[in-house]
Amino acid sequence: MSIGLPFLCDYGRNIHIGNNVSVNMNCTFVDCNRIEIGDWVLIASNVQIYTAAHPVELAQRQTPDWKPGDEAYFCRTFALPVCIGSGCWIGGGAILLPGVTVGSGTVIGAGSVMTRDIPSNCVAAGNSCRVLRRIHGEGSESQNGFLQQL
């Protein structure tokens, strides 16, 4: 495993990394919940993985009766896990939002914003990230053979 510096995270203890993983420089992992990274994963520079979020509705986001100096935080937060399957490549500057899963063998294009799950063995890109094509077709021997070695 290699992690390029600088590397920023909230806690570190919620990040679970498999074997033969490379995380390039300037990555940020907001690990308020579990971040699971499989084996043989490449994470390019400037990738951001977020598990923390806030409610969309203002009334749900604000802490009721909050005043400056209160012990409680002024707004409510929650966190959802992020999972990256084995054999993935996450392109430079990609952003993975709370609760998303990247299926094994998938490539996420540079600059993509993942707002929902992406299945295994795909190339996906965009904002919001969507599947562009399958890799070697469904059930390809070369792709599946590699993942079986993991």
Whole-number pLDDT of residue 72: 87
Q: Which tokens belong to 49? A: 């993985």
Backbone φ, ψ for residue 143 (5° rounding): -70, -50
Q: Do 56 and 77 touch, CB atoms closer than 8 A?
A: no
What mean pLDDT is predicted for residues 60-86?
93
Q: Which domains does the chain have, with CATH numbers?
A: 2-118 (2.160.10.10)
pLDDT tens for residues 88-107? 999 999 999 999 999 999 99
Percent of the residues in the chain that have a pLDDT greater than 70, as a whole number: 91
pLDDT tens for residues 110-133? 999 999 999 999 999 999 999 999
Question: CA 146 from chain center: how many Å?
Answer: 22
Burial of 148 (0-12, 13-18, 19+ CB in 10 A): exposed
pTM attached to this predicted model: 0.88
Whole-number pLDDT of residue 145: 52
Taking 50 as the threshold, does the pLDDT of residue 140 lie above it?
no
Distance CA 124, CA 95 (A): 13
What mean pLDDT is predicted for residues 122-145?
78
Whole-number pLDDT of residue 102: 98
Does residue 136 sit in helix, strand or coil? coil
Mean pLDDT over each residue of the chain, to the nearest integer: 92
Q: Do 28 and 9 touch, CB atoms closer than 8 A?
A: yes
Q: Which residues are catalytic?
A: 54
Q: Do 14 and 51 touch, CB atoms closer than 8 A?
A: yes
